[in-house]
Amino acid sequence: MEGMLENVVVGVIVAGSAIFSAWRLLSARLRLRLLDFVAPLLEKIAGPAVARLRSRTLQQLGGACGACSSNKTAAHRPSTPRR
């Protein structure tokens, strides 16, 4: 019985990790489309968390701070002309 329960717990952890990884790798536009597609089901389960997730995704899509590069050293800096 314990072995079966362990298999179920491991399966849930692996499935959750795969879903989280796929979510993080999607573009903001695809995340928004996915949220629109599954929103009726998720609103019954999660409630206001779906609205917060949608607003964060819209901020990323609109060019807010979520869309900025976190690597500030890779920012484009114009080079000085060579003489």
What string of pLDDT tens digits covers the 83 residues of the chain?
888 999 999 999 999 999 999 989 998 889 989 888 888 888 888 878 888 888 888 888 776 455 455 555 555 555 666 66
pTM over 0.75: no
Give the per-residue pLDDT at 47. 79
Query: Cα–Cα–Cα angle for 42, 48, 54, nearest 5°?
Result: 75
Phi and psi at residue 17, to the nearest 5°: -65, -40
- Between CA 14 and CA 24 the distance in angstroms is 15
Give the per-residue pLDDT at 80. 64
What tokens were used for 5?
């329960």
Q: Burial, 60: exposed, middle or buried (Cβ in 10 Å; 0-12, 13-18, 19+)?
A: middle
Give the per-residue pLDDT at 65. 53
Residue bearing tokens 């002309």: 81
